[in-house]
A and B are shown apart, each in its own frame.
Chain A
Amino acid sequence: MSAMSERTVSILKEVGNPNKARIIAHLSKHRGENAEDLGKHLGYPLPTVYKYLRELEAARVVRSEVRDKIRLYYPSDFKLEVSPTSLMEAFEQQSFLNLYRIRFGDDGIKRLNKLAEKVSAGKMTYRQAASILGMTYYEFVSLLDEIGATQ
């Protein structure tokens, strides 16, 4: 995926969840609110608010800063343009996953998923998994990122 279309997909994923979309909407009116206040105003449990905020920050639709030891949240500027062409580009342009699939087929993907499960369970390090797959650490981390196995 190109950087832009990858971003389109990650924004789509986040705003597709109405609860997360409400957080973005709320923050655009109440900029710089902390997680606790957000939870109170929107009626979400605090652990859920933290989870949503982590995901929204990772997708770069929300940003945060620490002031007086309190993390405050702000909406990031973004504009979503979706068309059949942009979706086609998002899913068909070059990615590590596509390259990996071309090289190793569906069996390779199964193997990758198994190793991703193992690293996620802490049974082996990322470097060990990369070494087993015979790839660089950079490739392995990028693949994890593309299959959504990173935060």
Chain B
Amino acid sequence: MSKRLVVDSSILIVLSRRNTLEEYLQRRKKEGYQVLIPKAIARELIDEPEKLARNIRAKSPVLADKILQSVEAINEAIEDNLIKLETVNYRKYSKLIDNVRKHLSQLEAKPQHAIKKGDPELIALAVQLYEKSREKVYVSTEDKALLRTFKSFRDRVEYEISEGL
């Protein structure tokens, strides 16, 4: 069975901008990892940048094209199964997601509803994967605060930080 690697958008965005996404994903595959992302993260990688490219195209066509190239690289990786989309079971993990939101809102004194979905979904996905097989989950992100939040939920998931960029 492949080692499950939950990767945050920050890593995938930077790699796709540098045109090294496929190289990274192929390397991870060779090392025995299956790269997984929750659906909220797919929206950050595809839907939001596409909208952004449309909004800036008139003034910044070069940048708009560059964004779309990055989106295309992500889409291809999903089609080639180098990145697998996972759905978080909200019914089962709603309490956990609320707790993550609460934790994050304390971090920056923001109301819970202002917390973007990506952070709680990433942690919920890791817990979901762990509970399914009771095997260690690997996590890769550049975001130190997110890693600190992960640590607060270590009683729910056995995980290991995997190399980032």
Contacts and interface: CB of A to CB of B under 8 A. Distances in A.
A151 B49 contact: no
B164 A60 contact: no
Contacts of B9: 137-138, 141
A66 B26 CA distance: 12
Interface stretch (A22-30, A39-47, A79-87, A118-126): A118-126
A125 B60 contact: no
Contact of A66 (B13, B31, B144, B145): B31
B102 to A, nearest CB: 14
A94 interface: yes
Binding site secondary structure of chain B = helix
Nearest to B142: A150
B113 to A, nearest CB: 11
Interface residues of A, number: 35
Contacts of B107: 123-125, 128
A20 interface: no
A58 B149 CA distance: 27
A93 to B, nearest CB: 6
Contacts of B31: 66
Interface string B31-71: 10000000000001100110110001001101100110100
A151 B104 contact: no
A123 B67 CA distance: 28
A124 B108 contact: yes
Contact of B44 (A93, A94, A138): A138
Contacts of B149: 125
Contacts of A137: 9, 13, 44, 48, 116, 118
B146 interface: yes
B110 A131 contact: yes
Given A58-B165, A126-B10, A136 B49 contact: yes
The 8 A-B residue pairs whose C-beta atoms are closest, nearest first, are A122-B144, A127-B116, A151-B165, A138-B49, A94-B63, A125-B145, A136-B48, A141-B13
Given A65-B27, A128-B110, A131-B114, 14 more contacts: A63-B23, A93-B62, A94-B60, A120-B144, A125-B146, A126-B146, A127-B143, A136-B49, A141-B13, A144-B10, A145-B13, A150-B10, A150-B142, A151-B164
